[in-house]
Amino acid sequence: MQQLTRFRNRVEAGRLLAERLMAYKNYPNALVLGLPRGGVPIGFEVAKALQLPLDVFLVRKLGVPGHEELAMGAIASNSEPIFQSHILRQLGISMSAIEQVVNSQKLELQRREKLFRANRLALDLAGKLIIIVDDGLATGSTMLAALQAIRQQKPARIITAIPVASHDALTLISSLSDEVICLLSPERFYSVGIWYEDFEQTQDEEVVDLLQKAKQIHE
C-alpha cells in the first residue's frame, strides 16, 4: 500500500483500517463498537468487512468552557468522568464550571442513548473481543473514558483501532488496550480533521441509518 498522507473521507479510512483487522473476520464472540458520531461510519466499514456486529459506545468529551474543542476530560455512559488534570491546573477551571459541563454532557449522553440504542438492551461486553473505533484521537481523553468503562465490564480483549492519532493519545490509551492499530501518527498532529479531505460532521440521522444497515447485513 502506498504511503498515506490523508484520507479522502471516513469511508476510505474505515476500509483501510479493516484491511489491518482481517485476522478478526468472523471472529467468535466479537463486536465492533463505534464512538458516536464520527466513529460510526468508520465502525460500519470495519464491521461490514469483518462480518461482525456493530454497536455504539457512548462517550462525550468534556470541553473547556468557552473553548469547547479543547478537552478537559470525558465521560462515558453510566461511568464517572475522567479529567485531564494538567488542563484543569493550567486553566484554573472552577468546580462549578466543571460540574455544569459534566451535567450538560450527561444529558446529551441520555439523549443519544435513547436515539441510537432505541429499545435495544444495554450492552453486555463480558468475555467478548471488542474492536473499538473512532475517526481519530487528538488528546485521547474520550477514548480513554470509553476504555475505562469497557474494562469494568471484563471483556476478553480490547483492540483499539483508529485511522489517525497523536503520539500523546496513543501513549495514553496503550495501557488499557490489548492491541492498538493506528494507520497514521504524524509528528505534527494539529487536529484530526486536517488528515481528512472530507471531514464533514456526522449527523445523528446517519448514525441511526448506519446502525440499522449494519444490523440488516449481519442478520
Are residues 109 and 16 part of one domain? Answer: no
Number of C-beta neighbours around residue 87 at 10 A:
17
Distance, C-alpha 214 to centroid of its chain: 17
- Print the domain residue range for 40: 10-61+120-218
pLDDT of 1 > 50? The answer is no
**Is pLDDT above 90 for 158?**
yes
Best CA proximity match to 57, nearest among 37, 85, 42: 37
Q: What is the pLDDT of residue 168?
A: 94
| 40 and 57, same domain (yes or no) | yes
Tens digits of residue pLDDT in 92-147: 889 999 999 999 999 988 888 888 887 677 788 999 999 999 999 998 888 988 99
Chain segment 161-210, per-residue pLDDT in tens: 999 999 999 999 999 999 999 999 999 998 999 999 999 999 999 999 99
Inside any domain, residue 174? yes
Last residue of a domain, one of 115, 136, 151: 115
**Quick one: 75 and 150 in the same domain?**
no
Give residue 49's pLDDT band: very low, low, confident or very high (50, 70, 90).
very high
Judgement on whether residues 83 and 129 belong to the same structural domain of the protein: no
Residues 208 and 133 in one domain: yes
- 2 inside domain: no
Residue 83: predicted pLDDT: 86
pLDDT of residue 56: 94
Number of domains the chain is built from? 2
What's the rounded Cα separation, in Å, for the pair 18 and 20? 5
Query: Do 75 and 30 reside in the same domain of the chain?
Result: no
User: Would you say residue 3 lies in a domain?
Assistant: no
pLDDT at 213: 95
Which class for 196: exposed (0-12), middle (13-18), buried (19 or more C-beta within 10 A)?
buried
Same domain (yes/no): 52, 73? no
65: pLDDT strictly greater than 70: yes
Residue 80 pLDDT greater than 60, yes or no = yes
Residue 135 cell numbers, joined: 475517526
Answer yes or no: do 159 and 212 share one domain.
Answer: yes
N-to-C CA span, the chain: 32
Task: Give yes or no: residues 148 and 178 share one domain.
Answer: yes
| pLDDT(149) > 80 | yes
Residues 101 and 184 in one domain: no
Q: Is residue 162 part of a domain?
A: yes
Share of the chain above pLDDT 90, in %: 65
Residue 102 in any domain: the answer is yes
Cα separation, 50 vs 23, whole angstroms:
9
Domain-ending residue, one of 93, 115, 137: 115
Q: What percent of the chain has pLDDT over 70?
A: 98
Residue 4 lies in a domain: no
Same domain, 71 and 144: no
Same domain, residue pair 128 and 207 = yes
Cβ 144 vs Cβ 168: under 8 Å = no
Q: What is the pLDDT of residue 3?
A: 61
Question: Do the domain assignments include residue 160?
Answer: yes
